[in-house]
Chain A
Amino acid sequence: MRQQGSLKCLFPRRDGPTLDAVLVNTAGGLTGGDAFSIAARAGAGSALTLTTQAAERAYAARSGETARIVTRLDVASGARMTWLPQETILFEGCALKRRLTVTLAPDATALVVEPLVFGRRAMGEELRAASLDDRIEIRRAGKPLYLDAMRLCGDIAAQLDRPHVAAGARALVSLVHVGPDAEARLAPLRAMLPRSGGVSLIGDDVLALRLLAPDSHALRQVLIPALTLLTGNPLPRCWMT
């Protein structure tokens, strides 16, 4: 393990067959000009869960400066990767660019989850001038298996208020599950989702879920049971506090 700057990694002890790693941003958030880089590898036959100690915060950036997060996850043969960060909260004036790339060996499995909060509604915060450039790519055997990209800029609150964009929602999660049980998970996940969520089997062993909610609290009420179903385990402890 190698760490540098304000991003640290902890390994809390927990009984169980998988290794939990907790990422901690000791700076308490990001702003323009910050550049975080995370790389992790699950070796052959291993299971690694990566989460964050707290919600990440993207704070206002100075004009022209962008905060960048580049995450690369490599999952070897027979290994399982669970990427389970807590919410990333966008604050007014933020400029965030993220790239998450997951590379899977042919028989590797993965659960990739990215919750986003567009301003803390309970605090009366709205994004009227902010930017997000976010991309998730999952690759297997040299080919993209899942690609998601969202670019939002300017009055993001007004865009999210549009009836066929997000109808006023301020929290969103993108979730991808890759594994031989993907098809079996489809019906139980569908049954858990409100109208503001959907799930689809986009490949034989690839399941994609997207869910919108008014705020992060409402998002978690649906997301936590869904994650518990998919992982078959309680969530990492930091999710529960």
Chain B
Amino acid sequence: MATGARIPMHIDPVLTLAQWLSPAYPVGAFAYSHGLEAAVEAGGVRDGATLKDWLATVLWHGAGHNDALLLAAAWHAETRAELDRIDASARAFAASRERLLESAQQGTAFCIVTGAIWDGGFADYTYPVAIGAAAAREALPLPLTQAMYLHAFLSNLVAAGQRLLPVGQTEGQAMLRRLTARIPALAEATAKGDLARLSGTAFLTDIAAMHHETQTTRIFRT
């Protein structure tokens, strides 16, 4: 059932993105901690200050930077074949089994819901590739799409940190505000979507994501 697919309506891009990247959009983001749960168990992340440093590392040296690049590459892609290639790179670049799960499952969920509501025919892509492809189809501006994607990514991980650590609501939101200030610079640095610039050097966060696979007590899927 394509509910509303053919209804002509103009919606401001920021509102479409707010809908897609809201915690209420059913991609299940809340279930994924990106390996943070393992970093907390090992003691590397133990309070607000270490959480903020972990988030900044993931943002600039890990998935923040690389997802922003993949999203931009997908946004610029002109053919389905090109999107397929970008998605294959995204899958091959996943640092661990759970990292792949996190990106693939959210992508699948996004494609199913978005394909049912907006014009159908979304392929099953990883999350950043799906968002980039969908944003291009809806003619949503790239910098805004990247910024809101990164903001949702960070916001979700701050919330995960608050569930795992004695970090209060105010402290979490203050941290999010400070990290958000750097998002436009990251979006600009990755706007061309040049996949030759992919780089994963948040090594210990990747290793923690691997450790999470065997963590016995866990509330997150990753």
Task: Give A contacts to B, CB under 8 Å.
Answer: 137-138, 143-152, 159, 162-167, 169, 172, 190, 195-202, 208, 210, 212
Contacts and interface: CB of A to CB of B under 8 A. Distances in A.
Contacts of B88: 143-144
Interface of B: 39, 42, 44-45, 50, 53-54, 57-58, 61, 88-89, 91-98, 100, 197-211, 213-214
B159 to A, nearest CB: 19
Contact of A196 (B45, B54, B207): B207
A169 B208 CA distance: 15
14 contacts: A143-B92, A144-B89, A146-B92, A148-B93, A149-B93, A162-B53, A164-B202, A165-B201, A166-B204, A190-B214, A195-B211, A200-B97, A210-B207, A212-B203
A181 B171 CA distance: 47
Contacts, number: 94
A202 B201 contact: no
A147 B97 contact: no
Contacts of A151: 197, 199, 201
Contacts of B45: 164
Which of the listed residues B93, B96, B199, B203 has the most CB atoms from chain A within 10 Å of its own CB? B203
Given A166-B204, A200-B98, 19 more contacts: A138-B92, A147-B93, A150-B201, A159-B61, A162-B53, A163-B44, A163-B204, A164-B57, A165-B204, A195-B211, A197-B207, A198-B96, A198-B208, A198-B211, A199-B210, A200-B97, A200-B213, A212-B203, A212-B204
Given A144-B92, A145-B92, A147-B93, A152 B201 contact: yes
A164 B44 contact: yes
Contact of A164 (B92, B97, B200, B205): B205
Which of the listed residues A151, A152, A163, A200 has the most CB atoms from chain B within 10 Å of its own CB? A200
Given A166-B203, A212-B203, A202 B94 contact: yes
Contacts of B202: 164-165
A167 B214 contact: no
Contacts of B199: 149-152
B204 A159 contact: no
8 smallest CB-CB distances across A and B, nearest first, come from A198-B210, A144-B92, A198-B207, A151-B199, A200-B96, A147-B92, A164-B57, A149-B198
A202 B197 CA distance: 22
Contacts of A152: 199, 201
B206 A210 contact: yes
A65 to B, nearest CB: 19
Given A190-B214, A200-B97, A210 B92 contact: no
Contacts of A212: 203-204, 207
A164 B198 contact: no
Which of the listed residues A137, A149, A212 has the most CB atoms from chain B within 10 Å of its own CB? A149
Contacts of B54: 164
Contacts of A148: 93, 200
A72 B65 CA distance: 28
A198 B202 CA distance: 13
